[in-house]
Amino acid sequence: MKLIVSSVSGEPIYEQIKRQIREAVLSGELKSGEALPSLRKLARELRISVLTVKRAYNELANEGIMVNVQGKGSFVVDQGDARLREKLTGQIDNALRQVGVAAKAAGIPMIDLMGMLEQAYNEAQ
């Protein structure tokens, strides 16, 4: 797995790391039980602070995607992809409910709303 970070993207570096690791887990590039690079190694490769990597790893651990094992390293948890999909599905459901309420309030027909969703989906990274 190759991580790429940009200091000019406007997105915090730790968020860029989290997003890329999440995507790697969801795509199957990172498998359950697979080790992630050590904090120091990744910080050195990306030329960033160890604290930045630590924050990303800790937040991913809090989300249940990975686990930090003292003295051994950081690993993708078993079923991390399933947990991540479940969490993301819940977030999408909540967002779509809010969009539905707003669309009805604005009088936007379903067909137009579907077109807007399709456009947003196609433009997503």
Percent of the chain with pLDDT strictly greater than 90: 66
Same domain flag for 98 and 85: yes
Other Cβ atoms less than 10 A from the Cβ of 60: the count is 25
| Residue-level pLDDT at 40 | 95
Structural domain range at position 46 = 13-78
Any domain includes 8: no
Place of tokens 């390293």: 73
Same domain flag for 38 and 22: yes
CA distance 120 to 114: 10
Any domain includes 45: yes
User: pTM for the whole thing?
Assistant: 0.69
User: Does the pLDDT of residue 99 top 80, yes or no?
Assistant: yes
Same domain flag for 39 and 74: yes
Number of domains in the chain: 2
Average pLDDT of the residues in 10-33? 91
What is the number of alpha carbons within 13 Å of residue 60 lying toward its C-beta?
A: 29
Q: What is the CATH number of the domain that holds 31?
A: 1.10.10.10
Same domain flag for 27 and 69: yes
Same domain flag for 66 and 99: no
Average pLDDT of the residues in 105-116? 95
| Residue-level pLDDT at 75 | 93
| Residue-level pLDDT at 48 | 96
| Residue-level pLDDT at 100 | 94
Same domain flag for 21 and 51: yes
Any domain includes 1: no
pLDDT digit string, tens, across residues 26-80: 888 998 889 999 999 999 999 999 999 999 999 999 988 899 888 899 999 877 6
Same domain flag for 97 and 68: no
